[in-house]
């Protein structure tokens, strides 16, 4: 009996050793990283469903401590600059949502130690839509939004 | 050649980190005009930024982030000479990383 346990123990440690070697060699890294990507949230077709999948709730409150900076007119719908700034304390994440895109959730930034409430990026938009900045702070969602007009084939195109 | 360009500039209190990544960011909805076939989705899903080995920012991206993605953020408590590392992984499991010293 004692002997059998010893066998099991040895087998277990050999297997664990192999896994750590694989991780060390970088073989398992992509899968380990990808596991965190919230596929349901990015595939969701409505703002509420995307937020439910991402943050566990879609109850958000408009806040003047969240600012979104985007152009009134997106001259190139494939490259719309979006900047989000927030003065809220204890920010966990900043997400950018385009409500008329096929999949509204565009990007979500998880802020670590020392990072200020600020992100700046560029996004694609299918058509004229509200761009919503959702800041998660203290477990609650705060938002600000701005309409960006897209003129397909218009003067800007 | 790295797909990533990073620039980090230390200010009085805040360091501004800017990065540009060379990536097609295909949504999977676009069609090849000649063949009429859909171009398969190919986009970055996760970007991780580390300051001296500690993760400070994780960006989760969908296909609606622009081609040649741009990312900028601000961090407190970093100083000149510190190392900023950025790594990305896309939906095909391709990846890259690059490091820069804060200037």
Question: Residue ranges of the domains in chain B?
Answer: 4-101
Question: What is the tens place of the pLDDT at every residue in B36-59?
Answer: 899 999 999 999 999 999 999 999
* pTM given for the model: 0.84
Question: What is the tens place of the pLDDT at every residue in B73-94?
Answer: 999 999 999 999 999 999 999 9
Section A115-123 average pLDDT:
97
* A62 CA: distance to closest CA in chain B (Å): 23
| Prediction ipTM score | 0.95
Chain centroid, CA B85 distance in Å:
10
B22/B97 Cα distance (integer angstroms): 12
Angle among Cα A98, A113, A109 to the nearest 5 degrees reads: 15
Strands A140-150 and A60-62: parallel
At the fourth CATH level, the homologous superfamily of domain B4-101 is Immunoglobulins (2.60.40.10)
Minimum mean pLDDT range among A12-16, A40-44, A109-113, B27-31:
A12-16
Question: What is the tens place of the pLDDT at every residue in A17-50?
Answer: 555 555 444 444 444 444 579 999 999 999 999 9
A115 lies within 8 A of chain B by CB: yes
- Percent of chain A whose pLDDT exceeds 70: 74
* A117 CA: distance to closest CA in chain B (Å): 8
pLDDT given at position A13? 56
Look at the block and give the residue holding tokens 């230390």: B10
A106/A126 Cα distance (integer angstroms): 12
Question: What is the tens place of the pLDDT at every residue in A1-18?
Answer: 556 565 555 555 555 555
Nearest to A137 by CA among A76, A61, A80, A74: A61
Contacts of B74 in chain A (CB under 8 A): 115-116, 118
Q: Please, how many CA atoms are within 13 Å of residue B94, restricted to the half-sphere of its CB? A: 12
Tell me which residue in A78, A116, A123 faces B75 most closely, judged by beta carbons. Answer: A116
- Sequence-distant contacts of B77-80: CB under 8 A, at least 24 apart: B77/A113, B77/A114, B78/A114, B78/B8, B78/B10, B78/B15, B78/B51, B78/B102, B79/B10, B79/B15, B80/B10
Tell me which residue in B63, B76, B89 faces A34 most closely, judged by beta carbons. Answer: B89
- Percent of chain A whose pLDDT exceeds 90: 71
């Amino acid at each position: 009996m004692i002997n059998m346990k010893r066998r099991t123990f040895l087998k277990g440690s050999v297997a664990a050793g192999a896994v750590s070697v694989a991780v060390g060699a970088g073989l398992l890294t992509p899968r380990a990283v990808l596991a965190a990507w919230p596929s349901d949230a990015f595939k969701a077709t409505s703002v509420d469903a995307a937020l439910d999948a991402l943050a566990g709730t879609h109850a958000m409150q408009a806040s003047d401590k969240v600012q979104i900076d985007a152009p009134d007119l997106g001259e190139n719908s494939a490259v719309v600059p979006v900047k989000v700034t927030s003065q809220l304390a204890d920010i966990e994440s900043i997400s950018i949502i385009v409500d008329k895109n096929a999949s509204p959730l565009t990007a979500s930034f998880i802020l670590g130690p020392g990072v200020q409430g600020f992100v700046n990026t560029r996004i694609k938009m299918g058509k004229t839509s509200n761009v919503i900045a959702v800041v998660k702070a203290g477990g609650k969602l705060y938002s600000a939004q701005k309409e960006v007009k897209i003129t397909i084939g218009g003067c800007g195109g | 050649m790295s797909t990533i360009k990073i620039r980090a500039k230390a200010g009085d209190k805040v360091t501004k980190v800017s990065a540009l990544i060379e990536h097609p960011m295909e949504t999977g909805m676009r069609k090849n005009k000649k063949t009429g076939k859909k171009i398969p989705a190919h986009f970055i899903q996760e970007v991780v930024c580390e300051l001296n080995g500690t993760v400070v920012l994780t960006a989760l991206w969908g296909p609606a982030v622009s081609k040649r993605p741009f990312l900028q953020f601000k961090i407190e408590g970093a100083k000149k000479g510190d190392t900023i590392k950025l790594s990305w992984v896309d939906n095909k499991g391709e990846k890259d990383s690059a490091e820069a010293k804060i200037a």
